[in-house]
Amino acid sequence: MKISSNWVKNGALLATAIAAVFFMSGYGLASVEKLWTEKTTLANKDVSPVGGTLFRGLAEKLSPAVVNVKPMKKVTKTYGNFPYGNSPYGMPGMTPPKMNPHGSNKFRQRGEGSGFIIHEDGYILTNAHVIENSDSVQIALSTGGLFKGKIIGMDRVADLALIKIDSPNPLPVIPLGHSKELKPGDWVMAIGSPFGLDLTVTVGIVSAKGRSLGATPYDDFIQTDTPINPGNSGGPLINTHGEVVGINTAVMQMGQGLGFSLPVDLAKKLIPELKATGKVTRSWLGVSVQDITLADKESL
């Protein structure tokens, strides 16, 4: 019985230490003034979009706050080791137009992604993998405006990034909801730019919650059958109340109807620190567990 009481006491101390570590980590900044908006009242929760025009109205209202993220990167391509000299076409002397057959060729490579505006001053959320390693970022609005984006903060662990653009006028925003309230079977909508096709709207349901893809130690994805494709990354997953509940992040290539979104509740915990410091600092505590032996008991 003495062993059990020691373990209980030590376990309580360990739990207290772990709680203190997490309290002192970046998540403690959640009390900072919110950079986003939330709805103060909700419509009837028993909303059924089947046979109605609910998603049409949401798409019309919220699409102006969804943006196309265009990361740019300088790339140097060297042609060599081809069967017939330096030609990628397999014939000696044949080279692509405007390319140097004897050296390297520099060009700008552009990616495609999505994002959404969370503050009228121009703060935008997207995935970190959309913009990482880029030399510059351009943000295209649905109104046709093109802006230079400034990377305010990025967290590769959670795959979240905060960007800002400077607009002379207030920008439309999408309110952030609560992903913890989602249930499997709930209707959701995605808006984004799959393959660069701006403002594509797709609809589906929440298939599951708490999915782990083995990508990071903090996996806790929302699984949805809402069609998500390359270019949708960073775009919003929206509930029937017109609130963002997830950030579309990944798709399983080997199957259809398997999309994954970062819960917005996690994003709301990280946004204040991304804005304040440009990164997320996490504390950690190393703990090892082993069986207790008679010798261990006597040494306690």
Q: Are residues 16 and 39 in the same domain?
A: no
Strands (E) in 42-90, as ranges, are: 66-78
Tell me which of 134, 233, 241, 261 is the catalytic residue. 233
d(CA 260, CA 6) in angstroms, rounded, equals 43
Give the confidence band of 3 by pLDDT, cuts at 50, 70, 90: very low
Q: pTM (2 decimals)?
A: 0.73
Nearest to 252 by CA among 207, 218, 193: 207
**75-79, 98-102, 111-115, 279-283, range with the lowest pLDDT:** 98-102
Q: Are residues 8 and 55 in the same domain?
A: no
Q: Are residues 184 and 217 in the same domain?
A: yes
- Calculate ∠ Cα 271-32-210, nearest 5°: 45
Q: Are residues 188 and 243 in the same domain?
A: yes
Tell me which of 129, 179, 207, 261 is the catalytic residue. 129
Task: Give the mean pLDDT of the chain.
Answer: 80
- Calculate ∠ Cα 25-164-167, nearest 5°: 150
Give the confidence band of 81 by pLDDT, cuts at 50, 70, 90: very low
Q: Do the Cβ atoms of 108 and 73 come closer than 8 Å?
A: yes
Residue 139's Cβ-count burial label (10 Å; 0-12, 13-18, 19+) is buried
Whether 255 is covered by a domain: the verdict is yes
**pLDDT at 154 (0 to 100):** 97
In DSSP terms, which residues pair with 190 in a beta bridge? 202, 237
Query: Which DSSP helix (H) or strand (E) runs through 247?
Result: strand 244-251
Higher-pLDDT residue of 165 and 256 is 165
Residue 98 pLDDT more than 80? no
Give the confidence band of 193 by pLDDT, cuts at 50, 70, 90: very high
Whether 59 is covered by a domain: the verdict is yes
Residue 16 pLDDT more than 50? no
11: left (phi over 0), alpha (psi -120 to 50) or beta: alpha
**pLDDT at 294 (0 to 100):** 81
Residue appearing with tokens 């069967």: 83
Q: Are residues 289 and 227 in the same domain?
A: no
Active site (annotated) includes residue 233: yes
Tell me which of 114, 134, 155, 159 is the catalytic residue. 159
CB atoms < 10 A from the CB of 57, how many?
Answer: 12
Domain count, the chain: 2
Active site (annotated) includes residue 159: yes
Q: Do the Cβ atoms of 186 and 203 come closer than 8 Å?
A: no
CB atoms < 10 A from the CB of 133, how many?
Answer: 8
Whether 191 is covered by a domain: the verdict is yes
Residue 284's Cβ-count burial label (10 Å; 0-12, 13-18, 19+) is exposed
Residue-number span of the structural domain to which 290 is assigned: 2-23+285-299
Nearest to 250 by CA among 205, 211, 201: 211
Whether 250 is covered by a domain: the verdict is yes
**149-to-3, 113, 163, 181 alpha-carbon distances in Å:** 60, 13, 6, 32
Active site (annotated) includes residue 114: no
Whether 252 is covered by a domain: the verdict is yes
